[in-house]
Amino acid sequence: MSERFNRITPEILAELREAVGAGNVVAEDADALESYASDEAGIMYTSMPEAVVKVESTEHVSAVMRIATRHCVPVTPRGAGSGLAGAAVPLRGGIVLSMERMNRILEIDPVNRVAVVEPGVVTNDLCKAAAARGFLYAGYPMSTETSFIAGNVATNAGGGRVIRYGSTRRHILGLEVVLPSGSVLDLGGRIRKETWGYSLMHLVIGSEGTLGVVTRVTVNLEPLPGRTINLLAAFAELDSAVAAVAKVVRAGLPVVSCELLDRVSADMAASHANAPLPCQDSTDAYLLVQLEGDSEERLDDDCERAGTLCLDNGATEVFVAESRTESAAVWGLRQNITEAMRARDPYCSLSGDIVVPLSAVPEMVGEIRRAASERGIVVAILGHVADGNLHPTVFKPEGMTPEEWTDCAEAYYDDLTAAALRLGGAGSGEHGVGYVKMPIFLRSKSPEELEIMRGIKRAFDPMGILNPGKMPGEGPVL
């Protein structure tokens, strides 16, 4: 615990229990606390909270923040814990503020084409509820079946549909945000444009719980698209798969998603699901391409064009999913790949999330493989390749201690981030900075940019109690 923060005393616990109900505060149960000590960044990144508070309303959040501010106790907001950069890890102990019980879809408004939800709504539940009313929620990370809406907001999550629909920021119209003081901001609304001062809402999006606590989200809904079709293209060389992406995207085809799986990631996913992929023995990489369209005839034509482009650019075979069952099976491999990798190695590091311009993807893939080869570690490469967002995952070598492995993996990702920045990209496309990437983040920004960020942090959170140790740094020292 940093000396500038106070520990939670029995008196503070009593205040918390009075504010939110005794059943919503966990403090003495070490096993229960431990499940809130890490996120999907991995078991190498763990820090125990002193208490977990499971809030049920905006009023609860406001009361907890007032107590925390009064006693200078750090607060780490937490959604589903599905983040991959350690943003939900309570580095300074204190309170983990869990949003898991604020999980209601409050409204689907067909006139204004919006949904209003609480922060703990699972993304896929919103998708299903919107679809039942004839709408699409297009902010669709790959963790859709586990992630919470507020977590998507916190990291400006992306996913497979970014090439068509954009990342989470594009779909957020309004936020209710509780400040550390307990005050509540109502930002944005049910309108789709405004020029009305600084956009505090867009500062909160992507701020990883360091500025305020999101307690309500208003999202944009799109009309449901027409039919979709999925292609799986197998390539004997990963470089050929990467090169083919630009040709498919440039052709003006209605591409919704274009996902890359190299041989390592594809083998792990197929083995975990006990569902072999076609041509698996002779394939170095797969592209999973989804197209959408209103006309079945036009979509079939587009599918044929996409398949031909892949074949003309190095694909050995192109397979078309002929049914929803086949499509779900193929996408299930991609969506469940984190689980497959964790099953293979619980120490695998999933924090890699670099993004570069599409033109730089071939060079970035080379950097990923070179840096892994130099360290003698196995790397699996997958990602949303059409928007240049790659997710290299590395696995702990046998005989290396967890401590040595943490240092090795962090140095590896530092190298990749440096390469991504050199190529005109960034160290994260959607997973965020958290604290896993904090050192390279701070080194990559100019002193002037960091000071502006810290000024914003001080304006929202003068005592620095919200998610301390995360971007843009500790904030003011009291």
Per-residue pLDDT of 160-186, as tens digits, reads: 888 899 999 999 999 999 999 999 999
DSSP codes, 352-389: --EE--GGGHHHHHHHHHHHHHHHT-EEEEEEEGGGTE
pLDDT of residue 71: 98
Dist. CA 440–CA 437, nearest whole Å: 6
pLDDT band at 2 (very low <50, low <70, confident <90, very high): low
CA distances from 144 to 3, 100, 217 (A): 39, 15, 16
pLDDT of residue 279: 92
Q: What is the pLDDT of residues 12-63, one digit of tens each?
A: 999 999 999 999 999 999 999 999 999 988 777 899 999 999 999 999 999 9
Percent of residues, the chain, with pLDDT higher than 90: 82
Q: What is the pLDDT of residues 327-365, one digit of tens each?
A: 888 888 888 888 899 999 999 988 889 999 999 999 999
Would you tell me the crossing angle of helices 238-250 and 361-375 to the nearest 10 degrees? Answer: 160
Paired strand residues for 343: none
**Fold observed for domain 10-101:** 3.30.43
Q: What is the pLDDT of residues 384-403, one digit of tens each?
A: 999 999 999 999 999 999 99
| CB-based contact 89:472 (threshold 8 Å) | no
State how beta strands 75-78 and 95-98 pair.
parallel
Half-sphere exposure of 402 (CA within 13 A, CB side): 8
Q: What burial letters (b/e) apply to 222-242, b meaning 16+ CB within 10 Å?
A: eeeeeebbbbbbbbeebebbb
CA distances from 43 to 318, 350, 354, 402, 406 (A): 39, 11, 22, 9, 10
Dist. CA 406–CA 411, nearest whole Å: 9
pLDDT of residue 322: 80
Percent of residues, the chain, with pLDDT higher than 70: 98
CA distances from 369 to 160, 228, 415 (A): 23, 34, 12
Mean pLDDT for 144-167 is 91
Dist. CA 331–CA 44, nearest whole Å: 29
pLDDT over 60 (residue 477):
no
CA distances from 247 to 243, 307, 361, 382, 428 (A): 7, 11, 13, 19, 25
| Backbone φ and ψ of 282, nearest 5° | -110, 10
Instruction: Indicate the average pLDDT of the chain.
Output: 93
Q: What is the widest separation between alpha-carbon atoms in the chain?
A: 71
CATH class of this structure's domain 227-335: alpha beta
pLDDT over 80 (residue 473):
no
Dist. CA 235–CA 263, nearest whole Å: 10
pLDDT of residue 350: 85
Dist. CA 92–CA 90, nearest whole Å: 6
For CA atoms 404, 406, 412, 414, the dihedral sign is: negative
Q: What is the pLDDT of residues 197-233, one digit of tens each?
A: 999 999 999 999 999 999 999 999 999 988 899 999 9
| Residue range 345-434 in CATH 3.30.70.2740 | yes
pLDDT of residue 440: 87
Provide the edge-to-edge strand list for the sheet that holds 105-109: 105-109, 114-117, 213-220, 172-178, 184-188
Q: Given the structure tokens 């950097």, which residue do they identify? A: 367
Domain ranges of the chain: 10-101, 105-223, 227-335, 345-434
Computed over its alpha carbons, how large is the radius of gyration of the chain? 22
pLDDT band at 474 (very low <50, low <70, confident <90, very high): low
Dist. CA 121–CA 146, nearest whole Å: 10
Q: Given the structure tokens 């201690």, which residue do they identify? A: 401
pLDDT over 50 (residue 119):
yes
Mean pLDDT for 285-303 is 92
Dist. CA 433–CA 427, nearest whole Å: 8
Mean pLDDT for 434-459 is 92
Question: Is 345-434 in the same CATH topology as 10-101?
Answer: no
Residue 59, exposed/middle/buried by CB under 10 A (0-12, 13-18, 19+)?
middle
**Fold observed for domain 105-223:** 3.30.465
* pTM, two decimal places: 0.92
- Most confidently predicted of 63-77, 261-275, 347-361: 63-77
DSSP codes, 237-305: SHHHHHHHHHHHHHTT--EEEEEEEEHHHHHHHHHHHT-PPTTGGG-SEEEEEEEEES-HHHHHHHHHH
Residue 77 neighbours by CB distance under 10 Å = 26
pLDDT of residue 144: 77
Which residue in 342, 350, 345 sits closest to 430, CA to CA?
Answer: 350
